[in-house]
Amino acid sequence: MIRPSPARRALLASIVLVGASLASAVAPPAEAVTVVPFSRPLSIPKVLTGPNITLTARLADVQILPGAKTRMWTYNGTFPGPTIRRPTGQTTTVTLVNNLPPEAGDLTLHNHGNHSTPENDGQPDDRLAANGGGQVTYTYTGTEAGGNERGATQWYHDHRMGLTGRNVWMGLAGMYIIDDPADPQTLPKGAFDVPLMLTDRTFDANNQIRYNPAGNVGLTGNRILVNGVPQPYFVVGDRKYRLRILNASNSRSYTLALSNGQAFTQIGTESGLLPAPVKRTEIEIAPAERVDVVIDFAKKLGQKIVLQNVAASGSLGQLMQFRVMRDLTDNSSIPSKLRALPTLDATSAVTRTFVLSRSRTTGQWLINGLAYDPDRIDAAPRLGTTETWIFKNGSSSNHVIHLHDVDQQLVSRNGVPARPWERMKESWNLAIGETIVLKVKFTDNLGKFVFHCHILEHEDDAMMAQMEVVP
């Protein structure tokens, strides 16, 4: 095994004390700083739109909480990293430069949701950007199955073997949006199309973070950040806004609802627009999932509406506040038909079943009884064929199964046909005892790709498997 042993990983984790003196990190946390809810404005990450992008991984002191800045591992000095926004069908290169301190080691960059070839997929042990200024250039063609890749809300993050949880926790994540002229153009755009990245972190008395997962169950933080800001407010107009919500947390799931009981209009998932909009008053979002929603603030002028997380209480239940303070005209609309799903072959070539479980002896998370082994191929689908993949959660925890390379269509969940908001995705939350049946078509790309649980402490514990698309 190339990945560090659990003991080695625990040691690595315990020595990651970024920005905190050893003494203060060892001392019991003193009084943590108070955040007055909705006292700071939402921040919108810088947007990069050019064809050749550089992301430099480096230390930066970021203003997250009031008072001392938080030393983080960042892309280009901010958390979240810049939002990359590119038209579909056009080639984009992203060059990762690794200027992090030695304890970060080598890095990879995965464009999550993108249809990348294996060498451009940022796999856990492949084409590493060496610590000390090493760099790797990833090329994305923006094409899929003979056409343009579908418009989608993707994200990029580090994917290093056994260390993804640490590297993402320290700050290595950002959003990547593909704009697609084949999507309806009347949806809210420009300043009314807003990415929201949800993360949770725990800070010490000096406002510093450290990665201490204390086992493999999954690390949660005691504060929730939206675009890196604790409980921000966002001044909006009395019109429709498109919010592309990403759960970039290591392990926490959220259940989103609006404080006035109003419904979201969900228009998309990880894999782009839905066939038709769906109204939902509560939306669960697990790690790595995205929900693309429209909220209409028409006739709400003067109101304050809170985006809640009804899965938790106290400050964890109040994510951000919309202040409807601007009188605007709304020239946007949501068409009743958005985007048809690609058609897959009616018959599948092969059916494969994967059971998610936990070792009774070691407590390790497993897929079909096995931990990840980069030298083992767990599935070898043929290029151009459609297969049925079944995932069963036989463990006592939820998991979020994510497949690289291509999107998947849901046939059924627990025997019930796919609900309208989850017909095509690439990250799937499975509650205890659940079973999903997926159809997957393997287009364009030959070679090896991973699939894994996106609870990052499970992934790093080797709850990952590998497919090889063969001719």
The DSSP string of 284-306 is EE-TT-EEEEEEE-TT-TT-EEE
- In the DSSP assignment, the letter for residue 444 is S
Chain-centre distance for alpha carbon 28? 32
Question: Under rule CB under 5 A, which residues in 383-402 are in contact with Cu ion?
Answer: 399
Q: Strands, E, within 359-442: which ranges?
A: 365-367, 386-393, 399-403, 408-413, 416-417, 424-425, 427-430, 435-441
300 contributes a contact to Cu ion by CB under 5 A: no
458 contributes a contact to Cu ion by CB under 5 A: yes
What is the β-pairing status of strands 223-226 and 110-112? unpaired
Closer to ligand C2O by Cβ: residue 112 or 280: 112
Question: Under rule CB under 5 A, which residues in 398-427 are in contact with Cu ion?
Answer: 399, 404
Residue 126 burial class via C-beta count within 10 angstroms: exposed 0-12, middle 13-18, buried 19 and up = middle
- Minimum Å gap between C-beta 159 and Cu ion is 8
Closer to ligand C2O by Cβ: residue 19 or 124: 124
- Minimum Å gap between C-beta 338 and ligand C2O is 24
- Minimum Å gap between C-beta 340 and ligand C2O is 26
Binding-site partner at residue 240 among ligand C2O, Cu ion, none, CB < 5 to 8 Å by type: none
CB neighbourhood size of 373 (10 A): 15
Binding-site partner at residue 159 among ligand C2O, Cu ion, none, CB < 5 to 8 Å by type: ligand C2O
- Minimum Å gap between C-beta 464 and ligand C2O is 8
Tell me how far apart the alpha carbons of residues 320 and 40 are, in angstroms, rounded to a whole number.
Answer: 10
Closer to ligand C2O by Cβ: residue 240 or 402: 402
Binding-site partner at residue 300 among Cu ion, ligand C2O, none, CB < 5 to 8 Å by type: none
- Minimum Å gap between C-beta 423 and ligand C2O is 21
453 contributes a contact to Cu ion by CB under 5 A: yes
Tell me how far apart the alpha carbons of residues 278 and 198 are, in angstroms, rounded to a whole number.
Answer: 22
Closer to ligand C2O by Cβ: residue 175 or 257: 175
Residue 352 burial class via C-beta count within 10 angstroms: exposed 0-12, middle 13-18, buried 19 and up = middle
- Minimum Å gap between C-beta 467 and Cu ion is 13
Q: What residue type is assigned to position 196 of the chain? A: L
Which tokens in the block code for residue 422?
């989850």
Binding-site partner at residue 201 among Cu ion, ligand C2O, none, CB < 5 to 8 Å by type: none
Residue 418 burial class via C-beta count within 10 angstroms: exposed 0-12, middle 13-18, buried 19 and up = middle
- Minimum Å gap between C-beta 138 and Cu ion is 13
Closer to ligand C2O by Cβ: residue 17 or 94: 94
> Which residues in this chain contact ligand C2O in the complex, by CB under 6 A?
110, 112, 157, 159, 288, 402, 404, 450, 452, 454
Tell me how far apart the alpha carbons of residues 104 and 113 are, in angstroms, rounded to a whole number.
Answer: 25
Closer to ligand C2O by Cβ: residue 236 or 288: 288
Question: Under rule CB under 5 A, which residues in 91-120 are in contact with Cu ion?
Answer: 112
- Minimum Å gap between C-beta 319 and Cu ion is 24
- Minimum Å gap between C-beta 456 and ligand C2O is 9
454 contributes a contact to Cu ion by CB under 5 A: no
Q: Strands, E, within 186-239: which ranges?
A: 193-201, 223-226, 229-230, 232-237
Binding-site partner at residue 210 among Cu ion, ligand C2O, none, CB < 5 to 8 Å by type: none
Binding-site partner at residue 288 among ligand C2O, Cu ion, none, CB < 5 to 8 Å by type: ligand C2O
Contact 254, 185 (CB under 8 A): no
437 contributes a contact to Cu ion by CB under 5 A: no
Size of the site for Cu ion (CB under 5 A): 6
Tell me how far apart the alpha carbons of residues 77 and 79 are, in angstroms, rounded to a whole number.
Answer: 7
Binding-site partner at residue 455 among ligand C2O, Cu ion, none, CB < 5 to 8 Å by type: Cu ion
Contact 70, 64 (CB under 8 A): yes
Binding-site partner at residue 243 among Cu ion, ligand C2O, none, CB < 5 to 8 Å by type: none
Tell me how far apart the alpha carbons of residues 133 and 275 are, in angstroms, rounded to a whole number.
Answer: 45
- In the DSSP assignment, the letter for residue 170 is T
